[in-house]
Amino acid sequence: MSIYSIATHVRSSLERYRNYRRAVRELSALDDHQLGDIGLVRSRIEEVARGTMH
């Protein structure tokens, strides 16, 4: 594995993690009624946000 491919992998991983954290932050900011409107319950926010990592 070259240094370039390692750096690319690290950059990609960091971007996926940032997307995950952003999704958790934005969904957590919604109240329970708003979450319900989009078919989500608060206890599933992290699970749903993990889908943003792929």
User: According to the model, what pLDDT value does residue 11 have?
Assistant: 98
What is the pLDDT tens value at each position of the chain, 54 positions in all?
899 999 999 999 999 999 999 999 999 999 999 999 999 999 999 999 999 766
User: According to the model, what pLDDT value does residue 5 have?
Assistant: 96
User: According to the model, what pLDDT value does residue 54 have?
Assistant: 63
pTM over 0.85: no
**DSSP secondary structure of the chain:** --HHHHHHHHHHHHHHHHHHHHHHHHHHTS-HHHHHHTT--GGGHHHHHHGGG-
Q: Residue-wise over 13-43: b if at least 16 C-beta within 10 A, else e?
A: eeeeeeebeebbeebeeeeeeebeeeebeee
